[in-house]
Structure 1
Amino acid sequence: MTTLESSSAVDSSMEDTSQTLTQPPNHTTTTTKTKAKNDYTNRFDGDGKNGNEEDDGDEECDAEVWETLSKSFREVQSVLDQNRALIQQVNENHQSRIPDNLVKNVALIREINGNVSKVMGLYSDLSVNFSTIVHQRREITGSKDSSNSDSSNKVDSME
């Protein structure tokens, strides 16, 4: 295979990848939303009242979690889109075989490298933020459960 054929193979595979990355699977989003809705619906008793009586707090926390996750994923997608454009420019410069364009590729590849590091940082931050939110929520749920047990113990001791 010649270098030109190799470049063509890379271009065609990049086109396939860009289509995959720019078109998020709608069924996953729908499934996640449906599951979240079902989980929310399953919290209710048959009479339509919330069995846990923490509906407002849960919805507010859920909105905060989704907001945090969405913001992080938008940032990551933005950097990945930028990298896609940079990679495309590198390929065009390489195919042109013009010395000035080949020199420009050095800076472009460094920028791509920096963006990869940025994406790693964003995913790391996302993981930490998500973990923190989950731990805070567990602490809140745990403290509510213990206060509910204390209340029921007081009622039992009064009888």
Structure 2
Amino acid sequence: MTDRTPAPRGDFELPPVDEQMCFALYAASRAVTNLYRPLLDPLGLTYPQYLVMMLLWERGECSVKEIGAVLQLDYGTLTPLLKRLETNGLLHRNRDPEDERSVRVAPTDEGRALRARARGVPEAIGRVIDLPDEEFEATRLALRRLTANVLAGEARVAEET
């Protein structure tokens, strides 16, 4: 049996959960991701698969390494996701003839055709989010800055340990 003794409180109180940044980010992320589900289900895509397809629609072809870097996904998450999309006929993966260690990913004709069916998704999401353009852009930029700060902080912590 494990010890269920609560952690000592010390001389301070923690802010309530709903006042913590981590909870606000978690709740917003879940809410927005769940908002995508009914829009992506008819397309046969999960949200991470949609992100991969959007990147391929934008760039045409990418290395697995590039996809992982842009979408901040590790190989353990990305590989099964790409296999599923390939099985569903939406992309193909091939070794790079210039570098056999690298795998290139490109949409198939079916994958490119899916773009037309997904065209209204960003607008539908934007309508529900319902922020003025300036506030939407300011929030997006603040979240990107927060992410960059956290990743830089993670790297500093890793160097210190």
TM-score range, shorter chain: under 0.3
TM-score computed with the length of structure 1 as normaliser: 0.26
TM-score computed with the length of structure 2 as normaliser: 0.26
Of Structure 1 and Structure 2, the greater helix share is in 1
With a CA cutoff of 8 Å and minimum separation of 6, indicate the structure with the bigger relative contact order.
Answer: 1
Larger radius of gyration: 1
